[in-house]
Amino acid sequence: MAVDLANPGNFLTTRLRQAINWGRKYSLWPIPYGTACCAIEFMAAVSSYHDLSRYGAELVRFSPRQSDLMIVAGTISYKQAPILKTIYAQMCEPKWVVAMGVCASSGGFYKNYGTLQGIDRVIPTDIYVAGCPPTPENLFHGLLLLQDKIDREGLVASAQRHGEQTG
């Protein structure tokens, strides 16, 4: 962005992509998809001491239609997977997904008949946050990485990317 020198004080010149992405990355509306222990740490991350709002992502919505960031906190079982997929499909574009904790990322130490070995097998995933459970700080790091990623994206990149993967 730059200040328009011909009309000082009134205009900023920028690229559309940059301006929109700037808006997007600082106003993420997360929907927590909390299933297990990680959800308890997610609660800690949003409440007063750690405070997710410092990164512009405090407006936790419980309706997928109102949110653009899904934070999957907890183990996803095969029984749960179709529901996760449905809820993801209900979110509007552009949308992003953070896998919080090793369970959501890869199944974690549950390598067994009931546990989906990572949510990226059913929905496209942008950021993986390590930890069992991740500390709130760790989740914030994931969020910062996501903001970088959004910055680099084209305007319709997210829709295209997801279109390819989910068919």
Partner 1 sequence: MSEKLVQALRQEFGADILAASAYRGDHHVTVAPARVTAVLRYLQQRGGCEMLADVIGVDYPDREQRFDVIYYVRSLSAPRQVWVRVSVREGEAVPSACALWRSADWHEREVYDLFGVPFAGHPDLRRILCHHEFEGHALRKDYPVELGQELSAPEKLFSDHDIARAAHRASLAQNPTGAGDEIHPSDLLTVNLGPSHPAMHGCLRAECLLDGETIVEARAEIGYLHRCFEKEAEDHTWAEVMPYTDRLNYCSPMLNNVIYALAVEKLLHVEVTPRCRVIRVIVSELSRIIDHLVCVGTNLVDMGALTMYWYTFYVREAMCQIIEKLCGSRLTTNYARIGGLSHDLYPGCEDEVRTKLRMLEEAVRDVVKLAARNRIFLDRTVGIGAISRADAVSYGLTGPCLRACGIPYDVRKVHPTLDYQEYDFDVPTGEDGDTHARIMVRLAEMVQSKRIIEQALQKLPAGPVNVDEPRVILPPKAKVYGSIEGVMNQFKLIYEGIQVPAGAAYGCGEGANGELGFYCIADGGGRPYRIKVRPPCFPIYGAFTHIIKGGMVADAIATLGSLNIIAGELDR
Question: Which residue ranges make up the site for ligand SF4 (CB under 6 A)?
Answer: 36-38, 74-75, 101-103, 108, 132-133
82 binds partner 1 (CB under 8 A): yes
Look at residue 47 and give the partner it binds from ligand SF4, partner 1, none, a contact being a CB closer than 5 to 8 Å depending on partner kind: partner 1
Look at residue 101 and give the partner it binds from partner 1, ligand SF4, none, a contact being a CB closer than 5 to 8 Å depending on partner kind: ligand SF4
Number of DSSP helices (H) and strands (E) in the chain, helices first: 6, 6
Other Cβ atoms closer than 10 A to 142: 21
d(CA 30, CA 58): 7
Other Cβ atoms closer than 10 A to 85: 15
- CB-nearer residue toward partner 1: 70 or 143: 70
Other Cβ atoms closer than 10 A to 61: 15
Binding-site ranges for partner 1 (CB under 8 A): 32-37, 39-41, 44, 47, 49, 62, 74-75, 77-84, 87, 109-117, 132-133
